[in-house]
Copies of this chain bind each other. A is one copy, B any other.
Amino acid sequence: MPEKYKVKDISLADRGKLAVEWAEQNMPVLRLIRERFQKEKPLKGVRIAACMHVTKETAVLMLTLRDGGAEIALAASNPLSTQDHVAAYLAKEGIHVYAWRGMSEKDYFAAIASAASMGPDVTMDDGADLTVMLHKVALGEARGIDYEIGSKVLSSSIVEKIRGGTEETTTGVIRLKALQKEGKLLYPVFAVNDSLTKFMFDNRFGTGQSSIDGILRATNILLAGKNVVVAGYGWVGRGIAWRARGMGARVTVVEVDPVRALEAYYEGFYVTDMSSAAETGDVFITATGNTDVIRAEHLLKMRDGAILANAGHFNVEISVRDLERIAVGSRDINENVREYRLPNGRKVYLIGEGRLVNLAAAEGHPSEVMDLSFANQALAVETIVKKWEKLDKKVYKLPRSIDNRVALLKLKALGVRLERLTEEQKKYLESWSG
């Protein structure tokens, strides 16, 4: 690792500490795991390279892993998502942080390479950029800026030492499964995203609220009465759709999957294709995990004043390329809103450069839901360390028993009573004779 850390301003550490304490207060499950890790030290001597959004909640996870005995290098998983005061605090706490808000694309991949250069036993990823860089270097896949930057710093043998990894997002899991499908996955990865206590909560309630939050912070528009178009009705999309409706908007869903489209329809949403939706929407939010969901053909149909935001992991869902290409002019309205004047005289407004709006324009997911996701992360890392010898080079789900543990701890912290099965009921559920 070239430097111990690289952050914007180390003097922000005190403010960062306050923020992390505030987060931890709403993360009771991770707190309990941290207490156990402090005693048991299950990660003693383990080196972890992580590529995650550097937020106050991630900080609580990193400190939990550190208290479990790990040495950690952390790179940002998005150029716009780092909270600089949190990064400073983590650096002070001995985490090797390479992250600051507003990194260039080059800095971004250089930071990942720096983290990877520690020679990790375990990787943690949020979108799979770290894992993909390591694979490209190891496989000699000489395409892309990540390969260019990574191959300068990293040796192709670095992967050999890695026992396993974790992946946080739907997008990342799709990429890793594509790798696996081509037979190129070089170590086992736990798809933390696919745990019930992750995607049903984080993707839905977390992104749902925080994407709306980001749009409000950037624009201060009134959602009541607006026509909001949500592209994608996966867990993120439905979270956004329900919250937008909860704020008084009329919501239209655009989907490619017929079953999901039908579900949205019966849940009372309008459902149509993007070409039709483009004509009536006031606000467009993409959450598909796909590329070019909003393209020139759609942009040119939009109403004057339409607002564009992306909630998906990568900034490819809204074609900024198309926007730049067709616009006759543009200017920044404020830190997070850019106005594009189209040749038809109308204006559209892009939030946060089309990057994930909840991190670009707000603070990302609330601590309460990251508590669940990161409890899964911590237990996934522990599982890798304990069981890596039995794992194949595959994408794994965490076992349902971990979901149950996480959920039970959370319910306890919330003071919620769970019904218990009687012995008679257990027997009934196992019988078929009636």
Q: What residues make up the interface of A, taking CB atoms closer than 8 Å to B?
A: 15, 18-19, 22, 25-26, 128-129, 132, 135-136, 141, 143-144, 146, 174-176, 178-179, 182, 196-197, 200-201, 205-206, 208-210, 213, 216-217, 219-225, 231, 243, 245-250, 254-256, 258-259, 261-263, 265-274, 276, 289-293, 305, 314, 316, 333-334, 337, 362-363, 365-369, 403-404, 407-408, 410-411, 414, 416-422, 424-425, 428-434
Contact = CB atoms under 8 A, between A and B. Distances in A.
Contacts of A367: 220-222
B416 A259 contact: no
A333 B178 contact: no
Given A246-B246, A403-B259, A432-B176, A416 B209 contact: no
Contact of A262 (B256, B410, B432): B410
Contacts of A404: 258-259
A82 B289 CA distance: 40
A248 B205 contact: yes
B366 A175 contact: no
A224 B248 contact: no
Contacts of A18: 333-334
A316 B424 CA distance: 12
Question: Closest 6 CB pairs between A and B?
Answer: A246-B246, A222-B366, A258-B407, A178-B432, A222-B368, A175-B432
Contact of A205 (B141, B224, B411): B224
A278 to B, nearest CB: 11
A178 B222 contact: no
Contacts of A268: 224-225, 245, 248-250
B245 A418 contact: no
B179 A432 contact: yes
A127 to B, nearest CB: 9
Given A246-B246, A247-B247, 11 more contacts: A18-B334, A129-B434, A201-B263, A221-B367, A248-B268, A249-B268, A250-B268, A256-B419, A273-B417, A290-B428, A291-B428
Nearest to A139: B433
Given A222-B367, A418-B256, A291 B425 contact: yes
B250 A416 contact: no
Contacts of A425: 290-293
A175 B420 contact: no
B128 A432 contact: yes
A421 B256 contact: yes
Contacts of A269: 250
Contacts of A223: 209
Contacts of A416: 261-262, 265, 271-272
Contacts of A424: 291-292
Given A261-B416, A411-B258, A201 B266 contact: yes
Nearest to A339: B22
Contact of A248 (B213, B267, B419): B267
B222 A205 contact: yes
